[in-house]
Amino acid sequence: MMPTKVSPCGRFVVLDGLHLDRNLFEALAQWAAKHQLRMQDAIQFALCIFWDSAVDRNRVERTE
């Protein structure tokens, strides 16, 4: 598992040594620039979309 620490505010986990596919990173960087976002915000947004569409949906399907 990669080294992590909690951010000073306590809300976030800081990942040390995160590796992203170069093509994915470049596409995300272009999207972020188009929407005037920082890369950190774009990555956070992408992870939230993943959570909403993949993880959370599977949890709901299992409980029905």
pTM of the model: 0.68
Residue-averaged pLDDT of the chain: 86
| H/E run at residue 8 | none
Helix, strand or coil for residue 3? Answer: coil
State what percent of residues in the chain have pLDDT above 70: 86
| Domain count for the chain | 1
Domain extent for 24: 4-63
